[in-house]
Amino acid sequence: MLPPEDAIELYTSAEKRGYLADPQEIEYQRGVLAQKYGYPLVKRDPPPQKDPRQVFFGLEPGWIVNLKDSTILKPKDKDLVDYYTS
């Protein structure tokens, strides 16, 4: 699932470091902030990108995470697997 319609602007905003924002725009906004507050900008490797449908990095979309029991439930139904991999 994608973010709710009223939150799309927040998730795509480079100023707010939204995870759907363009990585080059985010780097530019980091530079603007460094100039504004007067600290040196440290160059860093871009973070790995995750699919917008993923809740946690490294876990596939559609997997259910139970934080209390520390378990991950993966769908086995072929229709669900096809849906989440498309």
Helix/strand/coil percentages in the chain, nearest 5: 35, 5, 55
Q: Determine if the pTM surpasses 0.75.
A: no
State the pairing for strand pair 71-73/64-66: antiparallel
At 41-82, the pLDDT tens digits run 888 787 777 777 777 888 888 888 999 999 999 999 999 888
Per the structure block, which two tokens stand in for 1? 């699932």
At 1-33, the pLDDT tens digits run 677 889 889 989 999 988 888 989 998 999 999
Kind plus residue range of the DSSP H or E element containing 65 = strand 64-66
pLDDT score of 1: 61
What is each CA distance from 54 to 19, 38, 39, 49, 80, in whole angstroms?
11, 35, 33, 10, 15
